[in-house]
Structures are given as structure tokens and as C-alpha cells.
Structure 1
């Protein structure tokens, strides 16, 4: 069987995420969504979706930053 040759690893042995890259991409996504608010669309549904997604991404980034800063997340 093919699965017997794979090494057993625990979650703490895996390579950590690059937080700087994650924050940069998240901020770039927020800036892009806010820039899309200024366009030639007439309805407000698009604006609500874009604003909502931008707020959700911002909250996720802020929450992660606070948890890392307080030592509650690696």
C-alpha cells in the first residue's frame, strides 16, 4: 500500500504561513474592493456586497493580528 511510506507529522511540524504575505494580500483585496465602489454602476447591491466583503476581510485580518500579538496564535 502506498500510504505506509509517508512520514507521520504533527501539525506543529508543518511550515507556518507567511503572515506578511497574508496581510499584504488581504489589504490589497480590501483596497481593490473599495476602489470598485467608485464605478459606473447605478444600483447599490454591488456596493453593499463589496463593502461587506471588505469589512469581513478587515475583521479577519485584525482578529488574526490581535491573536498573534497577544500570543494566542502562533
Structure 2
């Protein structure tokens, strides 16, 4: 009887959209994702990648040209495209 009372009290406190049979951690409220947090973190990473383009002056032995800059810009553009696509898909009604 004590287990039944605990389960009924606990299930009344936690309201989730996830079935606790499929995701046991949903009973504790850990199953949700914060899309806003992930998007914000993604844009912060894009800004950091682009800020790396403005590093201090290189020494005379830099040698490899602009390969590093190409990769920084490429990764920043790829991440920005993923974030924009996610934002646009989230707006469409399903």
C-alpha cells in the first residue's frame, strides 16, 4: 500500500510529454530537451569559430597558407546552416 501511495503522489507532481515506460528518467523530469539552449550554444560556437579568424599576428614560420581559415569558415557555415534549418523546420506545423 505504501508503494501505491508514493507512486500516485509522485506521478501527480511530474507532468511530462514522454511515456515513463519508454524513458524511465522522464519520471524525474530529465527527458526534455531545451532546443533554445542548444541553439544558443550553437550560435556561440559559430561566433567563437569566426573570432578565431582574428587571431594575433603569426610568426614568419606560418607556412601552410590559409588552410586553417578555410576550415574555420567551413565549419562555421556548416553549423550556421544546421541551426537555420532547424529553426525553419521548427516553425512549420507538423
* TM-score range relative to shorter protein: 0.7 to 0.9
Q: Which of 64, 70, 79 is the equivalent residue of 1:57?
A: 79
Question: Normalization by structure 2: what TM-score?
Answer: 0.59
**Where does the alignment leave 5 or more consecutive residues of structure 2 unmatched?**
1-19
Q: Which has the higher contact order (CA 8 A, sep 6+)?
A: 1
Which runs of at least 4 in structure 1 moved beyond 6 Å after TM superposition?
none
Deviation at 1:8, TM superposition (A): 4.1
Q: Which has the larger radius of gyration?
A: 2
**Where does the alignment leave 5 or more consecutive residues of structure 1 unmatched?**
1-6
CA RMSD of aligned residues (A): 2.1
Question: Normalization by structure 1: what TM-score?
Answer: 0.73
The aligned length equals 64
